[in-house]
Amino acid sequence: MNSLTATQFHFPKQTAFYKGKVRDVYTINNEFLVMVATDRISAFDVVLPKGIPHKGQMLNQIAAKFLDATADICPSWKIASPDPMVTVGHRCEPFAVEMIVRAYLCGSAWRTYKSGVRQICGVQLPDGMRENQKFSTPIITPTTKAAIGEHDEDISREEILARGIVSKEDYEQLEKYTMAVFARGAEMAAQRGLILVDTKYEFGKKDGKIYLIDEIHTPDSSRYFYAEGYQARFEKNEPQKQLSKEFVREWLMENGFQGKDGQRVPEMTEAIVNGISQRYIELFENITGEKFSGAPYGDNIYERIESNVNNLLSRLL
């Protein structure tokens, strides 16, 4: 066993279970969540057939680091990380939108712009922009939170308010939190010689209070460029050296897969899987500035996670 792709725990006072694209989420006493970051990997809203060794641990530890580092800006759902692959926190009622913030024109936004579209999620973009160009100020391009198996959809601020998806008061607070947390993430990235290019945040509400939920500033939810050489590459129209999951999407696109009907995921050979794992380790170490130490796999991984979680729950319940 070299990856964890599925779990089936039965924790004390467990009231619900939800399987996300990457995380297995257990509801405890309708009050807390146990979020297990598995080694599953998704792209184009499709879960790929093989797990990536240590990916779950890396995502969980990066997210925990940044949730702690932004807690003075916005309260987060996180209570503790009792295991390298697990975070336990408050169960919140999630808002039905994801707040995507972009400081540069790239990825899906660039593909949309290149097709001739000049308004993304209600945000008007000027003509003449180039791939990887910095916006004058970061922009928010929200999406609706899709049901399982469906694609998230772009939506504008105006439509969110008109449809009553989020109240005006709450949405304005979400915007403030989004921009402030992004600014902190960009500042921390700059200290590591990186540029935080774009990212997404999810928020929830509990007892009338808004919390930052899920993961933040991980390579699955964010895109980073190396600051060194950015300007020279941009001026020469060369691809940026980046830290994100985009390399997985590019590999899939090169092999004819974009998550569309009738397309098949290319074969994930051992070399491909190990290569992706090594790239994630590079991402982890560059983003955190810490050496990665992978927790061992083996038959006792389930017992380890269960024991660590139960020890924490015994103090919370």
Calpha distance 237→72 (Å, rounded): 39
259, part of any domain: no
Q: Do residues 216 and 77 both lie within one domain?
A: no
Residue 105 has a pLDDT of 98
Per-residue model confidence (pLDDT) at position 121: 96
Residues 209 and 133 in one domain: yes
Q: Is there a contact between 309 and 83 (Cβ–Cβ < 8 Å)?
A: yes
25 within a domain of the structure (yes/no): yes
Contact 103, 138 (CB under 8 A): yes
Do 113 and 208 lie in one domain? The reply is yes
Pairwise CA distance, residues 14 & 101, whole Å: 35
Does one domain contain both 172 and 273? no
Is 207 within the bounds of a domain? yes
Three-state SS string over the chain comes to CCCCCCCCCCCCCEEEEEECCCEEEEEECCCEEEEEECCCCEECCEECCCCCCCHHHHHHHHHHHHHHHCCCCCCECEEEEEECCEEEEECCEECCEEEEEEEEECHHHHHHHHCCCCEECCEECCCCCCCCEEEEEEEECCEECCCCCCCCEECCHHHHHHCCCCCHHHHHHHHHHHHHHHHHHHHHHHHCCEEEEEEEEEEEEECCEEEEECCCCCCCCEEEEECCCHHHHHHCCCCCCEEECHHHHHHHHHCCCCCCCCCCCCCCCHHHHHHHHHHHHHHHHHHHCCCCCCCCCCCCHHHHHHHHHHHHHHHHC
Note whether 284 and 292 are within 8 A (CB).
yes
Residues 31, 120, single domain; the answer is no
According to the model, what pLDDT value does residue 219 have? 87
Same domain, 172 and 234: yes
Residue 145: which domain range? Answer: 94-244
**Does 7 map to a domain?**
no
Ranges of the chain with pLDDT below 50: none
- Asked if residue 161 is part of any domain, the answer here is yes
How open is the CA angle 19-66-11, to the nearest 5 degrees? 35
Note whether 160 and 222 are same-domain residues: yes
What's the CATH number where 105 sits? 3.30.470.20
Q: Does residue 225 fall inside a structural domain? A: yes
The answer to whether the beta carbons of residues 89 and 32 sit under 8 Å apart is: yes
pLDDT value for 28: 98
pLDDT in tens, 302-313: 999 999 999 999
221 and 132 within one domain: yes
Please check whether residues 105 and 87 belong to one and the same domain: no
The pLDDT assigned to 122 comes to: 96
| Structural domain total, the chain | 2
What pLDDT is stored for residue 1 in this prediction?
75
Single out the residue in 244, 259, 286 at which a domain terminates.
244
What CATH number should be reported for the domain holding residue 65? 3.30.200.20
Please check whether residues 124 and 151 belong to one and the same domain: yes
Q: Show which of 244, 261, 291 is a domain's final residue.
A: 244
Residues 74 and 165 in one domain: no
pLDDT of residue 242: 84
**Which pLDDT score, from 0 to 100, does residue 47 have?**
93
Q: Which residues on adjacent β-strands are paired with residue 140?
A: 101
pLDDT at 220: 86
Residues 176 and 227 in one domain: yes
